[in-house]
A and B are shown apart, each in its own frame.
Chain A
Amino acid sequence: MRALLPYLVIFAAALALPLVANDYWAVIGARAAVYWVLVAGLNLVVGYGGQLAIGWVALLTLGSYTAAVLCQRFDLNPFLAYAAGGGLGALAGVVVGLPALRLRTFYFAMTTLGFATIVTQVALAWQSVTGGGIGLPGPALSPPFDAPWGFYLLCLGFAAVVTWMTANIGAGRYGRSLVAMRDAEVAAESVGIGKARLLIIVFLFSGFTAGVAGGLFATLQSYITPEAFSFDLSVTFFIAILVGGRGSILGPLIGNVLLTLLPEVAAPLVAWSTFLYAALLLVIVLLIPGGIASLLDFRNRKPLDSTRTIVPRPELLASLLADPPIGKPIALRNVVLAFGGVRAIDGLDLMVQPGKVHGLIGPNGSGKTTTLNVISGYYVPQEGEVYLGDRSLPHGAPQSRAALGIARTFQTPRIIGEASVLQNVMIGASVDGRASFMETALTLPRHRADEQRLTARAMDALRVVGLDALAAVRADRLQHSELRFMEIARALAGRPTFLLLDEPAAGLSADEIMRLGALTKAVAEAGTGVLLVEHHADLIFDICDEVTVLNLGRELAAGTPAEIRSHKEVVSAYLGA
């Protein structure tokens, strides 16, 4: 409930505005609300999804002209016209957004900038429809919304609804998935988050709110010309989000209000406002990358206990991995994978049994991690197949593995630093979410059930690895060793039938390695097959049921730890003689 408080305060203040201010402020307030309808949607794209859409004003323009033209030419009801503007905005949102699936950062920013330029030019030149530079009147509303305060309250209503919806989305599975995609794309794929589907939905939604905001904007302006949709405006939206802080709703809300009001309270600054916003952007990026939201994040200022230790509780695994499905083995048959001329894997056969710990060792460049990446779908082998039971796994589709029960960790932990430990672990159970995007936005029962289930599951996983006390802490405050265990918890949260661990002991202390070993063994005893890539020979020999030694992409030896330990060639491969 405490999280709700700031929103209620802002909403109450907004409701009280008509009581204390004159009509001029009704226009300013309405403008802030209309901008927020756009910025709230764009926040999911920029703040949560990390996509640098700097030209979103294009969608405002489209929505404005659509609503204005429909009202003027076809005498449509203004509210239907707003909806039509939203519809076109949604469509255009997907068109502008789609390149984000292939293009990164600067490239994507440029395409949105280009799109914004084009839309303005078309609006200017397509005189028969848009009125060109002369413009055309915006939709006029009937009473009570034609009065300044009436329209203000209408816009406030839109803003409140959009705030509620985006807050639901941001706090739920889709918000977490977006942030995961932004900060740890590879990990997001490994837990089954499909980038294309996710981004398309979000671009649709964000385009829709921008289009609706456009319609309201046309009414607010009462007369629209292409000049009203300047690139400065677009940049203001974008900067409001970054000033507010990525991955937050409240921060950008405050940022939006501040940036809209600033020129009003400091009139001499009007001409310099864009300059100031740009300077603000620079300062925020260089000095406070978390924006306003990070300044408001009091909970994560409390120092953590510096003497804390991780104590996993493997005995709780039974409740987390309740009745694991009867496992079938993972089998690699004659897999060949070459990078350029180098054969990283050269005809490898490997069988990983459920309920066993299988160690994979070998010198540098022997193909251990590459093998793991083939199983989890990141690399496409040139020859051979990977089977789960008798089913061949699709190559190069990492996001398909989680649903098949294959989870993994990474050599360098791939984590979402700005999210809490709990959220990081909930990501691991993403494939078990059922609610659709709209169910989440409207917080319908299926969404609430999802959240309850995933939270409980993630807490179970955190208890197993011994991090439950840190569940609410922002993940980038954890120590390196804790991040390793957090990654394991994320993998376990998906209740995997196979767990692939890539050098989990690297950077851990001797005590922690011991606990990691016990946990790994317990995971296997609970029925999950473990494939362990590791350099720490002592750990491998201690907990593995079976060990495969790779050299130059081939199997050098395989057998029990005792057999491997006394294997002459293994010893010499390790010693390089």
Chain B
Amino acid sequence: MPISAPEPLLSVAGLSAGYGKITVLHDVSLTIRPGEIVALLGPNGAGKTTLLCAVSGLLPWTGTVHFGGADLAGLSPRETARRGLVHVVEGHRVFTQLSVADNLLLAGYDVPRGERAARVDEALSHFPEIAAKRADKAGALSGGQQQMLAVAQGLVRRPRLLMLDEPSAGLSPVLVDRVLAVAAALRANGTAVLLVEQLIEKALRLADRVYALAQGRIVLEAATSEDDLPHRLERAYFGHDVPTALHG
């Protein structure tokens, strides 16, 4: 991946967000360029999911967020999705009462009617295992298949940036590789991916760059080609650089 990349696709600066009184993210800045995979890592409670929700408009935030040159301030998830910024939320939350095909059609609610069926087929082409079950209720799918369906829902929008929140949670290693392989395939098509992942080794192998988040702040930014990353991540997580609690 060349470092002198073009204009960033997503640029976040000075972002703060949280729930009610609790501010989870403090002054977060990051950029994502077209066609790169960026891994967002960090311990539990660091604010990774909050960051994704803020950027996609599911949570209110302050700061500046630009996507493809446009300001995202005050936009709803529907509007960010229309601009090509798609968020696949954590926990394969598909609509279990609806069929696989209906789940995908709903994801294309804003797509012109005539184009919907083609978009659904296109999204399913990445996942032959669920394409065969398109008439089944989503509730009848396995956890891994539901995760594929959730990713496919995101693909229906033909995203320019796909944000995946822990797509591997609860999946067997084989399925994890399947889902992550799709991310690689998307990159080949020029789609950028922001990946929140617990499986750090897999994420580092796949991604071009990595950000680490701890206690709501970015504590590390690096290219995955750099040396000694696991060690540096460990330092960032365990907070050896942070003043220690009693003797600080």
Contacts and interface: CB of A to CB of B under 8 A. Distances in A.
Is there a contact between chains A and B in the complex with CB atoms less than 8 Å apart? yes
A543 interface: yes
A537 B248 contact: no
B23 A507 contact: yes
B1 interface: no
A434 interface: no
Interface stretch (A203-211, A267-275, A509-517): A509-517
Contact of B22 (A364, A480, A513, A542): A480
B14 interface: no
B237 A574 contact: yes
Interface in B34-63: 43-45
Contacts of A364: 44, 198
A538 interface: yes
Contacts of A539: 245
Contacts of B200: 575-577
B44 A363 contact: yes
A543 B248 CA distance: 13
Counting chain B CB atoms within 10 Å of each CB, the highest count among A364, A521, A538, A574 belongs to A538
B52 to A, nearest CB: 15
B114 interface: no
A510 B233 CA distance: 20
B96 to A, nearest CB: 14
Contact of B238 (A513, A521, A538): A538
Contact of B245 (A503, A543, A571, A576): A543
A576 B199 contact: yes
Given A510-B248, A543-B246, A575-B234, A538 B239 contact: yes
A542 B244 contact: yes
A541 B245 CA distance: 9
A431 B92 CA distance: 44
A363 B198 contact: yes
Interface in B2-58: 21-24, 43-45
Nearest to B24: A507
B224 interface: no
A453 interface: no
Contacts of B242: 510, 538
A518 B246 CA distance: 6
Nearest to A363: B44
A180 B199 CA distance: 42
A536 B22 CA distance: 17
B90 to A, nearest CB: 10
B203 to A, nearest CB: 8
B204 to A, nearest CB: 9
Nearest to B237: A574
B201 interface: yes
B72 to A, nearest CB: 25
A148 B244 CA distance: 76
A507 B247 CA distance: 20
Contact of A576 (B22, B45, B198, B240): B198
Interface in B57-83: none
A503 B45 contact: yes
A536 B45 CA distance: 9
B234 A507 contact: no
B215 A536 contact: yes
Interface string B212-248: 0001000000000000001001100111101111111
A128 interface: no
Contacts of B24: 507
Contacts of A333: none
A364 B201 CA distance: 18
A510 B243 contact: yes
A535 B45 contact: yes
A537 B246 contact: no
Contacts of B240: 538
A362 to B, nearest CB: 9
Contacts of A363: 44, 198
Interface string A544-575: 00000000000000000000010000010011
A542 B245 contact: yes
Contacts of B43: 535, 537, 574
A541 B244 CA distance: 9
A280 interface: no
B245 A537 contact: no
Counting chain B CB atoms within 10 Å of each CB, the highest count among A513, A565, A576 belongs to A576
Given A538-B239, A571-B234, A574-B237, A514 B45 contact: no
Nearest to B216: A507
Nearest to A542: B245
Given A363-B44, A537-B239, A575-B230, A514 B246 contact: yes
A479 B199 CA distance: 35
A480 B21 contact: yes
B246 A521 contact: yes
A421 to B, nearest CB: 15
Contacts of B245: 513-514, 516-518, 536, 538-539, 542-543
Given A480-B21, A480-B22, A571-B234, A577 B246 contact: no
Contacts of A536: 215, 239, 245
A347 to B, nearest CB: 20
B97 to A, nearest CB: 18
8 contacts: A480-B22, A507-B22, A514-B243, A536-B239, A536-B245, A574-B237, A575-B234, A577-B200
Interface of B: 21-24, 43-45, 197-201, 215, 230, 233-234, 237-240, 242-248
Interface of A: 363-364, 412, 479-480, 483, 503, 506-507, 510, 513-514, 516-518, 521, 535-539, 541-543, 565, 571, 574-577
Shortest Cβ-Cβ A-B pairs, 3 listed: A517-B245, A542-B245, A538-B239
